[in-house]
């Protein structure tokens, strides 16, 4: 049975919709209001406060801590400075991605993994013979994502550190209400944002002060439905939705390399060794992947005409759908779309899709399957570069 996160006493009191989701055995809000629109617009126009505590967290310490991180991550962790966050993939020996996630470096010999799926066994298997300790601290640490244009303004009201020069994917150890916290300039919305990592027994006090100090800046608690639309606009993939993790794949076509899911940039092929290195180097030498995640923009005029011919107003999905909709080229299926929704900011119907390599260049015209009045049809769509939405404030420094 799902249990509450360290913030459940606060989120439960605010949830008017009683729309809850099970995230790794924890209850998190799907939306607080009956509709998630206000929460989404807070993320894009003021600030949204999102409970992301269900992430799995593993502390790695010891003389060989760097060696272990480098062994299981596709990135070169030796280039990660103390106070920096690193995003990358964990792969199996054939190069298939187990999951993507972040690693924080707190000291020369101290890292922390923040992951979507449990990985304690995988880390320990790869640490055999190393001088390193691995501790799961998932239940000990609560986490909040404060995301949106006013996120920094709110944080500066409560932290004892100057965050104006905190760079993208860097972190600061500081205090809120004399309580120790870690603030990282990270997030899953593609906007200006920070994540606050807190001891579970101080979590409620941190929530209260962020909500109180954020009132004048339009802060709103935001749930998974709003987050899903925001991460789609940012072109961020989601494990078990946009790709299947190698540990859960049942057939070869369900196994994805980092190159196939748009994370080839996280693979350091010059690094001496990491799990999956040989397979990924061979794949790179042999011309790369046969398929890849791309962005699609659906042709609105043609899409609306499908409904008009049925005598119906057009339906635009305000809640992001998750599932495999076939994608065609000249009546031949060449891939499938995995996430799609109407983008309130861009005023476009957008989707993520995995398609054959031949059709990935931006500007390629394809067809997406849609169902109108119980009839399967297709609407034209165009391949576009990701991300769909990438505001300068996401990486900007402030004075």
pLDDT band at 272 (very low <50, low <70, confident <90, very high): confident
User: What whole-number distance in Å separates Cα of residue 362 and Cα of residue 294?
Assistant: 9
307 pLDDT band (50/70/90 cuts)? very high
The whole-number average pLDDT for the span 254-262 is 98
User: Do the Cβ atoms of 234 and 387 come closer than 8 Å?
Assistant: yes
52-90 pLDDT tens trace: 999 999 999 999 999 999 999 999 999 999 999 999 999
CB 383 within 8 A of CB 295: yes
Query: How far does Cα 154 stand from its chain's mean position?
Result: 23
Segment 309-316 shows an average pLDDT of 96
Q: What is the pLDDT of residues 348-396, one digit of tens each?
A: 999 999 999 999 999 999 999 999 999 999 999 999 999 999 999 999 9
β-pair type (219-221, 47-51): parallel
Tokens of 146: 């404060």
Tokens at 105, concatenated = 């470096």
Helical ranges in the chain per DSSP H: 8-14, 37-45, 65-72, 120-126, 151-155, 203-214, 224-233, 277-285, 300-309
Mean pLDDT, residues 21-26: 96
Cis amide leading into 32 (omega within 30): no
Q: Which of 260, 255, 231 is nearest to 245 (CA)?
A: 255
Among residues of the chain, what percentage have pLDDT more than 90?
Answer: 97
Does residue 399 carry a pLDDT above 70? no
The whole-angstrom distance between residue 108's C-alpha and the CA centroid of its chain comes to 27
Structure tokens at 363: 């500007």
The SS3 assignment for 105 reads strand
Lookup: tokens for 396: 């900007």
Measured at the alpha carbon of residue 158, what is the angle toward residues 185 and 4, in degrees to the nearest 5?
A: 70
Average pLDDT, the chain: 97
Q: What is the DSSP string of 17-66?
A: S-EEEEETTEEEEEESSSSSHHHHHHHHHSEEEEE-TTSEEEEEESTTHH
Q: Quote the CA–CA distance of 40 and 231 in Å, as a whole number.
A: 11
Q: What angle do CA 35, 391, 196 make, to 5 degrees?
A: 65
pLDDT, mean of residues 44-51: 98
3-state secondary structure (DSSP) of residue 394: helix
**pTM attached to this predicted model:** 0.97
Tokens for 278, please give them. Answer: 């040989």
Q: Specify the pLDDT at position 288.
A: 87
What Å distances lie between residue 184 and 34, 81, 159, 219, CA to CA? 31, 14, 13, 19
- Determine which helix (DSSP H) or strand (DSSP E) holds 171, and give its type and residue range: strand 171-176
Percentage with pLDDT > 70 across the chain: 100
- 208: number of Cβ within 10 Å: 12
pLDDT in tens, 111-169: 999 999 999 999 999 999 999 999 999 999 999 999 999 999 999 999 999 999 999 99
pLDDT of residue 287: 84
């Amino acid at each position: 049975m799902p249990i509450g996160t360290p913030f459940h006493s606060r989120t439960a009191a605010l949830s008017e919709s009683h729309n809850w989701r099970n995230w790794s055995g924890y209850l998190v809000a799907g939306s607080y209001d009956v509709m998630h629109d206000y929460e989404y617009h807070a993320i894009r126009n003021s600030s949204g406060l999102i409970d992301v505590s269900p992430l799995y967290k593993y502390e790695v310490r010891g003389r060989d801590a760097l060696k272990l991180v480098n062994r299981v991550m596709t990135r070169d962790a030796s280039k990660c400075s103390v106070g920096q966050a690193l995003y990358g993939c964990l792969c199996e020996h054939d190069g298939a991605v187990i999951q993507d996630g972040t690693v924080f470096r707190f000291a020369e010999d101290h890292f922390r993994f923040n992951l979507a799926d449990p990985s304690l066994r995988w880390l320990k298997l790869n640490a055999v013979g190393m001088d390193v300790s691995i501790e799961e601290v998932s239940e000990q640490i609560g986490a909040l994502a404060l995301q949106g244009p006013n996120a920094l303004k709110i944080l500066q009201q409560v932290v004892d550190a100057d965050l104006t020069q905190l760079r993208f994917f860097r972190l600061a150890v500081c205090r809120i209400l004399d309580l120790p916290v870690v603030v990282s300039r990270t997030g899953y919305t593609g906007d200006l944002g920070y994540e606050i990592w807190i001891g579970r027994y101080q979590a409620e006090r941190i929530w209260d002060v962020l909500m109180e100090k954020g009132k004048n800046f339009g802060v709103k608690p935001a749930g998974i439905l709003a987050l899903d639309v925001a991460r789609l606009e940012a072109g961020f993939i989601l494990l078990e939705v946009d790709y299947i993790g190698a540990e859960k794949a049942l057939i070869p076509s369900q196994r994805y390399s980092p190159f196939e899911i748009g994370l080839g940039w996280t693979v350091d092929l010059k690094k001496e060794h990491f799990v999956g290195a040989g397979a990924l180097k061979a794949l790179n030498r042999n011309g790369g992947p046969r398929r890849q995640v791309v962005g699609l923009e659906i042709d609105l005029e043609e899409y609306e005409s499908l409904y008009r011919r049925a005598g119906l107003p057009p339906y635009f999905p305000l809640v992001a759908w998750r599932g495999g909709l076939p994608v065609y080229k000249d009546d031949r299926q060449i891939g499938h779309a995995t996430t799609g929704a109407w983008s309130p900011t861009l005023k476009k119907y957008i989707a993520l899709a995995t398609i054959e390599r031949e059709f990935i260049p931006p500007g390629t015209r394809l067809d997406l399957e849609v169902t109108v009045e119980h009839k399967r049809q297709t609407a034209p769509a165009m391949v576009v570069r990701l991300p769909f939405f990438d505001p300068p404030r996401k990486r900007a420094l402030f004075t």
